[in-house]
Amino acid sequence: ILTGKARQDKRELEPKMEMKEEYHLFLLFLPVLVLAFVFFYLPLWGWRYAFFDYKAGGELTMSNFVGLKWFAILFQNETTRGDILRVLKNTLAMSGLGILTSWIPMAFAIFLTQVKSKRFRRTVQTFTTVPNFLGWVIIYAIALAIFSTDGFINNFLNNIMGVASNANYLMDGSHMWLKMLLWGIWKGLGWSAIIYISSISGIDPTLYEAAEMDGAGRFASMWYVTVPCLMPTFFVLLLMSIANVLSNGMEQYLVFFNAINSQNLEVLDLYVYNLGIGNGQIPMSTAIGMFKSVISVILLFGANTVSKKLRGESII
């Protein structure tokens, strides 16, 4: 049992033992910092494979050190150069389509917030957000159930419409860029709209009141108040998309990939995966991945420079 003097001494020591307030947020951020280092920066140690003639299960020694050999092959080998140009065309085309349609989540969020029924608005937002949490394997299973030879469309045409049909739409390699775009929009529309819905909720209501007093209707208020207020958010996301134009993911294209659509579907990330994991050419795939990372960093800083000049704001 502490005496009165001991309790008083303890109270005097307690403030000195407290952590300074400026360190609280740093401790909260520390786990994120550690995870970012482990999953984003530590794997860069694997870049050393690009400088060795490495085979799976082998060792990295000076006897198989080849310097810039694999980087030279990227430009000197005609077959490799043709493959890279092909996958770059697919990558830039699909990323370009994504950039051209990047306004769709903003438009969806604007029109959704104009719905007066809260129950209907929440239902629509829920059903459009759920696909984001489904893996691409599940998405492909849904596509298989709808578009395969025994899928819903063929069954509907055969049994309901009386039209003989056994087409396999998933194996068809035509219009693959458009198909992948539509699947991507369906999967990410609701999730991408969340940030715009949050921005809309933060718009000053007096702006709408002033527009209404000036005679603006609902659509005029959306065009002259909501859209301008969302432009800063839209441009930041747009510039980030431009910076990541070579990084449009792999999972979506991997599950839809087959021998028929490979020429129009294989993007850069999938090509690196197939080259390294599928064909065992780990040094070559590492070299291509290094080039992609360097170009992405250059695009990021370029987009940041454009943002500073046009908007006066930095995105990094």
pLDDT in tens, 82-119: 888 999 999 999 999 999 999 999 999 999 998 888 89
Residue-wise DSSP of 60-92: --GGGB-TTHHHHHHHH-HHHHHHHHHHHHHHH
CA torsion 243-246-247-252 (nearest 10°) is 140
Q: How much is the pLDDT for 315?
A: 65
Report pLDDT for 260: 86
- Distance (Å) of CA 268 to CA 3, 36, 271: 73, 23, 5
SS3 249: coil
Lookup: tokens for 75: 């430009």
Task: Determine the pLDDT at residue 11.
Answer: 56
Residues of the chain with pLDDT under 70: 1-19, 315-316
For residue 245, the number of C-alpha atoms closer than 13 Å in the C-beta half-sphere is 19
Say what the pLDDT of residue 9 is: 55
Residue 75 near residue 81 (C-beta atoms within 8 A):
yes
- Whole-number Å distance between alpha carbons of 252 and 241: 17
